[in-house]
Amino acid sequence: MTAVVARRGRTGSVAWLVALGIVLAALNLRTAVTSVGPVLDQVSAALGMSGVASGLLTTLPVLCFALFGAMTPALSHRVGEHRLLLAALVLLGAGLWIRSVVGSSGVFLVASAVALSGGAIGNVLIPTLIKRHFPARAGVMTTVYSTALAVGTMLAAAATVPIQRAAGGNWHVALGVWAALAAVSAIPWLALLRSEPERHRVRGAGPGELVRSRLAWAIAAYFGTQSLIAYVMFGWLPQLLQDNGYTSGEAGTVLAVFTGLGIPISMLVPAVAARMADQRALVVAFCGAYVIGFAGLLTGRGLWVWSMLVGVGMGSFPLALAMLALRTRTAEATAALSAFGQSAGYLIAGAGPLAVGVLYELSGGWTVPFVLLFAVVAAQVVSGWYAGAPKFIEDERRPAAGSDGEGERAPRTVCVSAGASQVARN
């Protein structure tokens, strides 16, 4: 009896440590992306960075998220989930620190890619860890994860310039601070190394297998279209506001509030989605907010109001994260879907800011770029309608009832209990 109580106590402690580790890791996953933008002019000038190099720097996030995200399930099986996330945070911190001290644009780009590779791995791993350790509380933990992700994204964007000013205009210090935060986030995962979950292989759960899955492609398209809109708004909303008479300071304030709106939305959406068997109503609601907000922005009046409505529509991001767990039954399937959906999705998203910029330059206005965005919203409705229906990835490959066993067999699934029982055995 005493041994059982002790084991349950250890299991509870591990669960709390995993939850803390997820929060701290999530705070760091976007710092490599959003910390450099506010000081990009100073960095470019100091390092003699060409226009091509600056453009590559802004494109690196989606490239790294797609490439390293796709590699994560295979690495996870080989290394282990806890160890791989620890390694990802080490890569993130090392890349952030190296790029804060270098004097070469080439090394700065390479260090940025190293940091972004850590963030990409974390993007895929954390939904898997949530599914494995907290299967009965996936909605709550996805809420915690997406909220921490939103806080970290806003914090790095908002605090980098004040830190630079406090350091006497030194951008090296302003960027190096985020490496220290990454080091702190690695501490819980160091403590969890001895509680590495058993590694399972599930037939049909690899990202390559999902190429033939309609549901996986629907989720990838939904993830990609919402990311495309997000990247466009983060990159081009200030220009739109300034074109309509806002000062740069006013445009920055609107963007800060627009970004901060993601925090309360991220706290609400996953928990609501997890209580619903069918998430299509949420898909339509967020797309409706996009349509009304974009139409309002085109009028050139009351732009801050319409910007906030578009910000509400960006609740599609935490919804997309929630779908990674809601459309799967096992942690292994979640890992595969997370890798496939995010990798393909970020490739889709990467074309957005560039396409909008080209259309803006060619047309000399915002009407044509918004036509593109309306088309993207239409694609989001279609993909989200399929992705939001109550179904599971594992079911797509099961044989029909009464099958004689010939042809493709259903995948073997591994029943993985979260947190408690799984970790207690290790």
- Alpha helices by DSSP H, listed for 29-137, are 31-34, 40-47, 51-79, 81-101, 105-133
Q: Residue 418, by phi and psi: left (phi above 0), alpha (psi -120 to 50) or beta?
A: beta
Give 262's contacts (C-beta < 8 A, 6+ positions apart).
Answer: 150, 153, 154, 311, 314, 317
For residues 115, 119, 121 and 126, what is the CA-based torsion angle, rounded to 10 degrees? 150
Contact in structure between 65 and 116 (CB atoms under 8 Å): yes
Give the per-residue pLDDT at 198. 59
DSSP for residue 405: S
Instruction: Quick: pLDDT tens for 324-338.
Output: 889 988 888 888 898
Structure token pair of residue 239: 């220009």
* More confidently predicted of 1 and 76: 76
pLDDT mean over 249-266: 83
Q: How much of the chain, in percent, has pLDDT values that exceed 90?
A: 42
pLDDT mean over 249-277: 86
CATH number, span 1-199 = 1.20.1250.20
pLDDT mean over 296-316: 92
pLDDT mean over 350-366: 85
For residue 345, the SS3 value is helix
Q: Distance between CA atoms of 223 and 340, rounded to whole angstroms? A: 10
Side chain identity at 131, as an amino acid letter?
Answer: K
Q: Does this chain's domain 1-199 share its CATH topology with 203-402+411-418+421-425?
A: yes
Give the per-residue pLDDT at 208. 62
User: Which range has highest mean pLDDT (65-79, 166-180, 184-198, 409-423)?
Assistant: 166-180
Instruction: Quick: pLDDT tens for 214-242.
Output: 999 999 999 999 999 988 888 788 888 88
Structure token pair of residue 218: 């629907």
* More confidently predicted of 194 and 275: 275
Side chain identity at 339, as an amino acid letter?
Answer: A
Give the per-residue pLDDT at 116. 94
Contact in structure between 27 and 126 (CB atoms under 8 Å): no
Contact in structure between 274 and 138 (CB atoms under 8 Å): yes
CA 420 to the chain's CA centroid: 27
Confidence of residue 267 (pLDDT cuts 50, 70, 90): confident
Give 1's contacts (C-beta < 8 A, 6+ positions apart).
Answer: none
Structure token pair of residue 303: 């732009």
Nearest to 29 by CA among 111, 147, 152: 152
Q: How much of the chain, in percent, has pLDDT values that exceed 70?
A: 87
Q: Distance between CA atoms of 138 and 270, rounded to whole angstroms? A: 9
Which of 1.20.1260.10, 1.10.3720.10, 1.20.120.1200, 1.20.1250.20 is the CATH number of 203-402+411-418+421-425? 1.20.1250.20
Does residue 379 surpass a pLDDT of 90?
A: yes
pLDDT mean over 130-143: 86
pLDDT mean over 60-80: 87
Nearest to 202 by CA among 397, 391, 411: 411
Does residue 367 surpass a pLDDT of 80?
A: yes
For residue 406, the SS3 value is coil
- Alpha helices by DSSP H, listed for 134-197, are 138-166, 171-185, 187-191
Give 132's contacts (C-beta < 8 A, 6+ positions apart).
Answer: 81, 197, 331, 334, 416, 418, 422
Does residue 188 surpass a pLDDT of 90?
A: yes
Q: What is the pTM of this model?
A: 0.77
Backbone angles phi, psi at 186, to 5 degrees: -80, -20
pLDDT mean over 10-37: 87
The domains of the chain are located at: 1-199, 203-402+411-418+421-425
- Cα dihedral 251, 256, 257, 258 sign: positive
pLDDT mean over 166-170: 91
Contact in structure between 69 and 124 (CB atoms under 8 Å): yes
Side chain identity at 395, as an amino acid letter?
Answer: D
Contact in structure between 24 and 89 (CB atoms under 8 Å): no
Does residue 383 surpass a pLDDT of 80?
A: yes
Confidence of residue 25 (pLDDT cuts 50, 70, 90): very high
Does residue 374 surpass a pLDDT of 90?
A: yes
Specify burial of residue 326 (Cβ count, 10 A radius: 0-12, 13-18, 19+): buried
Specify burial of residue 93 (Cβ count, 10 A radius: 0-12, 13-18, 19+): buried
Give the per-residue pLDDT at 99. 94
